[in-house]
Amino acid sequence: MKIYDLAIAYSWEYDDDFIEEVQKIFHERGLSFLPISFENLNEVLDKIKNDEISLRFFLDRASDAEEEFVPLAKLIQEKKFFIINQYSNVEFAIDKATMHLEFITNGINTPFTIIISPYKEKKNIELTIEQLAKLGRPFIIKPANTTGGGIGVVLGAETLADVLKARQHLENDKYLLQEKIEPIEFDGKRFWFRSFYAFGKIIHCWWNDITHIYKEISSDEFEKYNFSEMNLIVQKIHEITNLEFFSTEIAFTKENKFIVIDYVNDQCDMRFQSKHYDGVPDNVIYEIINSMADFIRRNNQE
């Protein structure tokens, strides 16, 4: 039987560079790696079924988007291989309504939010004048469980009519109405961040919510602006979700508060900035890959 230290299932063409670098770094570090794409999916399925292949760790970047990979996901669970970001943990973490309540309970700052029931359950909604005033204008409308690419999100809502219209698009989903958060701007920087939790390592980047451009945070900047509180926030999110790999968005406001905006993204965009203007800085992706290798080596020894 061939045993692989890590397998990654992927279907997105823009993951090719990430997969290639994982393969290269794992080879350099003496770890075996199996990429699973459309091309070899059926072959891998058969070999796992016939106990010709075993996996120590599995990262699924495909079955949430492509039905063809669902049988693989089910088989991996049956075989009890270690799944990075267990499916039950992902299901819990991507429900924005649940995360909102968990974050508040655990002392994590979030935007003022009103959670409303699915349109199919209750067509009419009742909001007080006080609630609407606290939301402000414009406000954000976002579905609780539909993730990726801003699907169903309305960034510039102004009225109740906007809410009624938006929630009919995904009528089985809860919706969140959130105040629009504006970060401070200082030293020519917009204080909005995307932070990664990667296998025990926490990495923060400047991330402009308007242009979607990343920039690495230098160690001098980290000390100068005293960003250490963000480490505590991301660590706490990890403890709440039990995910090994995710990103979150954090803004720093004029009230001197770090506020978590986009709670948990379990599928992190790993496009290299050297090839895509709005990609992740190359050094950050390499840090993430090496941290994943450290995690696997560490857990293989236990």
| Cα separation, 79 vs 151, whole angstroms | 34
CATH class of 2-84: alpha beta
* pLDDT band at residue 120 under the 50/70/90 scheme: confident
The share of the chain scoring above pLDDT 70, in percent, equals 97
Instruction: Identify the helix (H) or strand (E) that includes residue 207.
Output: strand 201-207
CA distances from 105 to 28, 99, 109, 237, 262 (A): 44, 10, 10, 12, 17
Give residue 186's identity as a one-letter amino acid code: F
The per-residue pLDDT for 152 is 64
Cα separation, 77 vs 15, whole angstroms: 23
Query: Could you tell me the residue ranges of all domains in the chain?
Result: 2-84, 112-179, 183-268
pTM: 0.91
CA atoms of 261 and 4, how far apart (whole Å): 37
Residues 210-232: pLDDT tens digits? 999 999 999 999 999 999 999 99
CATH of region 112-179 = 3.30.1490.20
pLDDT in tens, 161-177: 788 788 877 888 888 89
Owner of token pair 């790999």: 245
Residue 55 clears pLDDT 80, i.e. is over it: yes
Q: What is the mean pLDDT of the chain?
A: 92
- Sign of the torsion formed by the C-alpha atoms of 169, 172, 177 and 181: negative
Span 96-105, average pLDDT: 94
Cβ–Cβ under 8 Å, residues 143 and 173: yes
